[in-house]
Amino acid sequence: MSDTVKVAMAVESNAHAIADHACKELLTKHADISARFGTDAQEVWTDHLQQRLLELAAALTAGDPAMFTARLAWSRSAMQARGLSAKDLDTSLGVLRDAVAAKLTESSNSPALAYIDQAMGSLHQGLPGKLAPVLDAGIATDRLALQYVQTIVAGNVLPGIALVVDAVEQGTSIHDAYLRVLLPAQKEVGRLWHLNELSVSEEHLVSYTTQRVMAILASKAQRKPDNGFTAIAGAVAGNVHDIGIRAIAYLLEIEGWRTIYLGSDIPQVELPNIIETFQADILLLSVALTSQLPATSRTISHIHEHCQHPAKIMVGGNGLAEGKELWKEIGADAYAPDADSAIALARELTTNN
């Protein structure tokens, strides 16, 4: 176990205590922040600081300080989009740094402080530009995705569902409906939420509608003959964003796989028994945020230690997108950057097993 991984474990295990300490210091020493956030200040800032610590732990696990910087830049731009002062983030980082120094031993806090210092220095060099639109109205499937999002956000859920279902009935493949319409639509929703152009409620409305559409299309699909393979799929502990892995599970099922879909936030202790019970050939795990990397690493280690059945473990999701070799460092057998790759790689891993 590397030194930075040991530090990551110390940061993660003490995250709540450090965040609580930092929040009290922040609100005591900076009355202007306390006043702006009112009665919600303690809860908002404790949660915020704890999330930053989990992201710090993930970067330490990966041995990549730039990963922590990238997550801070994302958070800073999201705060600005909501009319909040980016200076508040800078101030909170300084207080968080002091709390890390106070709460961790010197052997643990030194690498952690170096990551924080590098991130603070990088942020002062400038903010990232505004996120570019995901969809291009000149592309037919992107245009459908835009219409779908606009229709759902306007409250017209059934007409929105009909847009995609009708497109499939008129010749669009279910594969394209999932991967070229519904998943890009969700990325655009995420972009709009980040820019504060959609509310949480509107994001939830589109997401839950997308789950309905995927189920409707799966029920209409003509499944290929059983290929004899079993895939287990779901999102790692802490990950509640499961639309991408849900789409992959449906598509594998249509391809002839027996698919055991477990949903979001799967406890690591459940997986060895599930793999053995269903004699799975492959386990697909979705990692949405870098802060979920330590939990993913522990999950994979737990499977290796407690599962006798030799299932391959594939990981994917935005949480792994910032480092090409992260999947190796957390012990996975393979990494798929997108749904198309996941389906092809699942086939390759099981065929060559």
The 10s digit of each residue's pLDDT in 11-56 is: 998 999 999 999 999 999 999 988 888 888 899 899 999 989 998 9
Q: Whats the size of the chain, residue-wise?
A: 353
Tell me the C-alpha to C-alpha distance, in Å, between residue 43 and each of 2, 37, 46, 292. 34, 10, 5, 21
Residue 281 near residue 231, CB atoms below 8 Å: yes
What's the pLDDT at 84?
74
Residue 53 near residue 19, CB atoms below 8 Å: yes
* pTM summary value: 0.81
Hey, where are the domains in the chain? 3-123, 140-220, 230-351
Q: Can you name the CATH fold of 230-351? A: Rossmann fold (3.40.50)
Q: In this structure, which CATH number among 3.40.640.10, 2.70.160.11, 1.10.490.20, 3.40.50.1110 belongs to the domain 3-123? A: 1.10.490.20
What is the pLDDT tens value at each position of the chain, 353 positions in all?
567 778 888 899 899 999 999 999 999 999 998 888 888 889 989 999 998 999 898 888 888 888 888 888 888 777 777 777 778 888 899 999 999 999 888 776 788 899 999 888 877 665 455 567 778 888 999 999 999 999 999 999 999 999 999 999 999 999 999 999 999 999 999 888 888 888 999 999 999 999 999 999 999 999 999 999 999 999 999 888 899 999 999 999 999 999 999 999 999 999 999 999 999 999 999 998 888 888 899 999 999 999 999 899 999 998 888 777 889 888 999 999 888 999 999 989 888 66
Cα dihedral sign for 52, 58, 64, 67? negative
Calpha distance 120→122 (Å, rounded): 5
Please measure the distance between the N-terminal and C-terminal CA atoms of the chain and give it in whole angstroms.
Answer: 29
The 10s digit of each residue's pLDDT in 245-274 is: 999 999 999 999 999 999 999 999 999 999
Class of 140-220 in CATH: mainly alpha
> Which pairs from 148-155 meet CB under 8 Å and 24+ separation?
148/181, 148/182, 148/185, 149/185, 149/188, 149/189, 149/206, 152/205, 152/206, 152/209, 153/198, 153/202, 153/205, 153/206
